[in-house]
Structure 1
Amino acid sequence: MKINYYHFACLALVIFAVGCKQETKETSVINGDEIKSHIAVLANDSLMGRKPFTAGETKAIAYISSQFKKEGLEPGNNGSYFQDVPMVEVTSTPSATMSVSGTKGDFSLNYMSDFVASTRQEVQEVQLTKSPLVFAGYGVVAPEYKWNDYAGLDVKGKTVVVLVNDPGFKSGSSTLFKGDTMTYYGRWTYKYEEAARQGAAGIIIVHQTEPASYGWSVVANSFTGAKLYLQEKDKHMSRCKVEGWITEDAAKKMFAAAGITGDFRAIARKKDFKAIPLNMTATVTVKTKLKYSTSHNVIAVLKGTTTPGECILYTAHWDHLGIGKPDAKGDSIYNGAVDNASGVAAVLNVAKAFAQQKERPKRSIVFLAVTAEEQGLLGSEYYASHPIFALNKTVADLNMDALGSYGKTNDFAITGKGQNDLDDYVAEFAKTDGKKLTGDKNPGAGGYYRSDHFNFAKVGVPALDMNNGAESTALGEAYGKQKQKEYGDLHYHQPSDSYTPDMDANGMAQVANLLFKVGNKLANETTFPGWKAGSEFKAVREKSMGGK
């Protein structure tokens, strides 16, 4: 992609020079007006919703890099502000039915109403032909919980049927995994990965609304149209041929034919559970269309004075959904002002705050605006598997995604609270400022695994995702909760997530200021924060650190 970076950056600055408020002096180093000025640029219609591979990407990454350069930050990738992220777009079209055959008769599942399916394999067509079906419980191999649903099981050529979430959910036991708080083993992405490691030909996840935290329509809609994946040398041939879901009703029909009745979640969470052959087979075909393109992460660095090889990482995704279905007002541009122009704007202001300090920190500070979060956290996944700065010397990742636009709050919300020592850093500064900390409102939904910080956690780097709380300083908690609900119900992933001059970005500035303080402290220490006991990411970090 040929990019006239500075032409677009200058154009954007000219467009928004009029009307942007001047910087005001406040006790905090970051203020809401500056954050708003960046959101105004990044969420403008001219960026067409910032979808990867479009002119909107070209303009967005040009603006972000120009701001890094303006503050005197060095390019973070061997003289470049950009890291190429090669991707493949796969459009999967399954056969209209999945045929299930067994000793007690045959039946068919209908595409979209009973099942969905796709493939990552970069071939024109994949087939499961009379693939034996095996109920593999939750599809989990978790050494730290002494749990292995695949123990003694050979699934080569077979299709595993597994349950969403993990054994702890609604078990009544807080010590079975993490009780109602989802671990990574409960995420559908993990289940796909594990089935592939086990050599399964296919994997089908049983959808249930409560443990999934979303209805069947969400699953069905996510399987329509093209999906982006990172390019892999093996063209994803190591993944299962077919990755899919079935409805709970379809699963009950399938299990009943195999003689499995009652609460199959309770059956699968028993300590002595063993995978159950269903004595039936599945047949389905998935045809594909493939398209190859390259997107870009944007990266800049402020070199440390004493230990520049060690770094603190700030992340936010720059991408959104582009141009799509018009809303009732005829607006078809998904500007993503909150999601996630807000996070990028906050990172830009944190970068400015570090650059303008009289004394540089001892460790380096790296600022990373990643692509394709909306397509499956792909930009951060690519960086985590192709790191520019060594992961075992990356002290922490501090992530900002979809910061609240309803003003200052008396509290902060930590996604996945209790995972690692970064919580303690936040708590220290929050206490000083007289603020409270809260955790996930719905811990069973697995929110910790749904933004870019997760890809750093997955490779062991202590990662923090933080947002505004709900207790509005000016108008109380009821107001804050109302605004959160309003955003989720009316604006999330809708064209109405747009910049407005009356947007209140002071709460965004609160988050940015607090994470600036956390990063500054980390950058002037010699120690490394770690993972709390029981975290599924503790072992990989300790291994990468050589047992530190």
Structure 2
Amino acid sequence: MNTKLLFTLICVAISFLSLAQKKEMQTITESDLKAHLEFIASDNLQGRDFFTEAPGLNITADYLKAQCAKMGLKPGVEGYFQKFELEAVTPDPDQTVMRLKDGSGNVSYETKNIFSLGGPAKNDTVIGDVVFAGFGWYNEDTKYNDTKDLDLKDKIVLVMTRTLEQSKEGAEPEMETEMKKMSRAMMGGAKAIVLVSDPMNPNPEYIESIRKYATGGSLTLKGAKSSLIIPIRLIFGTEELADKMLEASGKTLAGLQKEILESESPKSFSVNDLTAEVKLIKSNETVEGKNVVAVIEGSDPVLKNECIVFTSHYDHLGIDGEGGIYNGADDNGTGTVAMLEIAEAFQSMKRKPKRSIVFAWVTGEEKGLLGSDYYSQNPIFPMENTLADINLDMVGRSAEKELEVIDSESKSLAGPNGMYIVSGKQSTELMKISDEVCEDLGLVPSDELTKAFLTRSDYYHFYKNGVPILGLSTGLHEDYHKITDEIEKIDFHKMKRVTQYAFSVAYKVANQNKRLVVDKPVQ
């Protein structure tokens, strides 16, 4: 065969593949995305969480299974359900109590208006002397240090939210800041932190959002090799409780805060003749988790043993204390139904891609990336044969216009053409393919969320195993983790384009003759 003829045949083959890709991509439609999402994000599913009155999470799993069967997708595991056991720990607020005792052991104050994070899974009682540590903060630049010369060992430490600088500015509280305080206290040997809103900047909505999360209970993989349980207890209390803890010193929390801000220096001290006793009562049970896993087998007899994995989490936050439903239309109804459309596009192809495609709708993301953790330990294809993970999490919203400057700290909502791609950039080749597809579809990619979000969604368990990742999102918005995350706010045109992008990238990677090159190891 002469060179000219060979070149012509290669061009025809490439053209045929491109036309096939574009033809199948057209099966991804706004109307289908909306139809699926109207079910997934409906009130009837009660927020797709564990422990709701209606079994919305299981109903969603059944719906996904039924759609896979209807499309004729091969089960990734028997019956499509990859089942695993979870350990559930739920606090009992009616029996949780904090008591303050004087030097003679007499109870001077008692309250049930507390809740906690961290600590062991079983019932727990914490007893310790009390110290006040201001904001509990250490500033590496100014060397301001609330815990300098303060003995924290075996103590219960009273601190305010925020930092000196944040309090002065009236800045929004950040859980990351409070976690750093907790880490420092833990290294100092403290038993617990009692965290109270700083009086100048009370933020009841922030505290209430944490309360809903904390009192909703926690889940961990049963028999997990590593535990996410935090050894120190983080106890959230009220200003009234703080003033009672400080009463013997003749101080109030508001007064101490004023002193700190005016002097810009710590006012920390041990509270004499005061012991705090905290009883944290919890219930324990075993519950079942279900990943929904389906496979489209590759057409090449050798390359079909390699795969591209699509992931998205189908769980959400359930119901709030007032009966409001977290329907999670964007988080993550959009990613869930986008994968259904991607699966349909691949399944409609007469000739399937050379490599296999795995679809894993995972559960328990909101509880700590649990379903994807289990899948990573029990993959359908070995991790070394998994070429990439494409994860879709919140892919259905748009700001009115494109952002001039992307703020990685605020995780701003992308504009009509914008899309965030979280990636460890292990594969230059994969990123080049991604850029080419974005250009074809008129999408503007940004990696500004990578640093802040690399461990925050299900792609993380692939990344840590050396699998190149593309974590797709259109950004955060004011409805994130609120009952206002409803279907009426979804930009279905934008969502379709992101879905088509994901299909196109996987199509190209799955049909390459050579394996995707990984040129950067996990850091």
Q: TM-score normalised by the shorter chain: which range applies?
A: 0.5 to 0.7
1:300 CA displacement: 1.2
Do residues 217 (structure 1) and 208 (structure 2) align? Answer: yes
* Matched residue SS, 2:436: helix
Aligned to 2:5: none
Q: 1:367 aligns with which of 356, 359, 373?
A: 359
1:346 CA displacement: 0.2
CA distance in 2, matches of 1:405, 1:436: 14
Do residues 117 (structure 1) and 125 (structure 2) align? Answer: no
Q: 1:396 aligns with which of 365, 388, 395?
A: 388
Contact 1:121–1:236 (CA<8 Å) still a contact in 2? no
Do residues 453 (structure 1) and 459 (structure 2) align? Answer: yes
1:291-345 CA distance string (max 9 Å, x none): 3321311111223433445432211122234455667xxxx55443333222111
Aligned pairs (5 A) from 1:188-337? 202=192, 215-224=206-215, 226-233=216-223, 239-240=230-231, 242-244=233-235, 283-304=277-298, 305=300, 306-322=302-318, 333-337=325-329
Contact 1:196–1:239 (CA<8 Å) still a contact in 2? no
1:433 CA displacement: 3.0
Write the letter of the residue equivalent to 1:65. K
* Matched residue SS, 2:315: coil
1:504 CA displacement: 4.9
Write the letter of the residue equivalent to 1:117. S
CA distance in 2, matches of 1:379, 1:308: 25
Contact 1:128–1:241 (CA<8 Å) still a contact in 2? no
Contact 1:314–1:399 (CA<8 Å) still a contact in 2? yes
1:405 CA displacement: 5.2
Q: 2:469 aligns with which of 463, 472, 480?
A: 463
Task: Please provide the CA RMSD for this pair.
Answer: 5.6
- Cα distance 1:41–1:101, how it changes in 2: closer, same or farther (>3 A)? same
CA distance in 2, matches of 1:107, 1:285: 16
1:338-390 CA distance string (max 9 Å, x none): 33222111001111222233443344322111223334433233334544443
Contact 1:334–1:497 (CA<8 Å) still a contact in 2? yes
Do residues 518 (structure 1) and 508 (structure 2) align? Answer: no
CA distance in 2, matches of 1:59, 1:42: 9
CA distance in 1, matches of 2:155, 2:385: 41
CA distance in 2, matches of 1:120, 1:189: 14
1:74 CA displacement: 1.9
Larger Rg: 2
1:117 CA displacement: 1.2
Q: Which moved more, 1:512-521 or 1:73-82?
A: 73-82
* Matched residue SS, 2:438: helix
Aligned pairs (5 A) from 1:9-28? 28=26
1:256-287 CA distance string (max 9 Å, x none): 99x99969xx999xxxxxxx997998642211
1:189-208 CA distance string (max 9 Å, x none): 89989999999755677878
Write the letter of the residue equivalent to 2:39. V
* Matched residue SS, 2:395: coil
1:164-203 CA distance string (max 9 Å, x none): 999xx9xxxxxxxxxxxx9xx9587899899999997556
Aligned pairs (5 A) from 1:485-524? 485=478, 487=479, 493-494=482-483, 497-499=485-487, 504-523=491-510, 524=512
1:34 CA displacement: 1.8
Write the letter of the residue equivalent to 1:467. S
- Cα distance 1:196–1:76, how it changes in 2: closer, same or farther (>3 A)? farther
Do residues 55 (structure 1) and 61 (structure 2) align? Answer: no
Aligned to 2:418: 412
- Structure 2 stretches lacking a partner, 5+ long: 1-21, 139-150, 167-173, 401-414
Write the letter of the residue equivalent to 1:431. E
Write the letter of the residue equivalent to 1:218. S
Aligned to 1:434: 442
* Matched residue SS, 1:61: helix
Q: Which moved more, 1:63-72 or 1:411-420?
A: 411-420
Do residues 351 (structure 1) and 343 (structure 2) align? Answer: yes
* Matched residue SS, 2:286: strand
Taking structure 2 as the reference length, what is the TM-score of the superposition? 0.64
Aligned pairs (5 A) from 1:131-170? none
Write the letter of the residue equivalent to 1:510. R
Contact 1:308–1:364 (CA<8 Å) still a contact in 2? yes
Q: 1:43 aligns with which of 23, 41, 44?
A: 41
- Cα distance 1:27–1:351, how it changes in 2: closer, same or farther (>3 A)? closer
- Cα distance 1:427–1:25, how it changes in 2: closer, same or farther (>3 A)? closer
- Cα distance 1:416–1:341, how it changes in 2: closer, same or farther (>3 A)? closer
Contact 1:453–1:465 (CA<8 Å) still a contact in 2? yes
Write the letter of the residue equivalent to 1:121. P
- Cα distance 1:241–1:348, how it changes in 2: closer, same or farther (>3 A)? same
1:76 CA displacement: 1.6
Contact 1:119–1:286 (CA<8 Å) still a contact in 2? no
CA distance in 1, matches of 2:49, 2:506: 30
* Matched residue SS, 1:36: helix
CA distance in 1, matches of 2:152, 2:467: 32
The alignment-based identity, stated in percent, is 27
1:512 CA displacement: 0.7
Aligned to 1:341: 333
Aligned to 2:148: none
How many residue pairs are counted as aligned between the two chains?
A: 452
Q: Which moved more, 1:235-244 or 1:309-318?
A: 235-244
- Cα distance 1:389–1:195, how it changes in 2: closer, same or farther (>3 A)? farther
Write the letter of the residue equivalent to 1:288. K
Taking structure 1 as the reference length, what is the TM-score of the superposition? 0.62
Write the letter of the residue equivalent to 2:291. N
1:86-141 CA distance string (max 9 Å, x none): 34142243744375999xxx9989765xx641456332x202222797989889xx
- Cα distance 1:82–1:382, how it changes in 2: closer, same or farther (>3 A)? closer
Q: Which moved more, 1:345-354 or 1:32-41?
A: 32-41
CA distance in 2, matches of 1:229, 1:72: 33
Contact 1:307–1:362 (CA<8 Å) still a contact in 2? yes
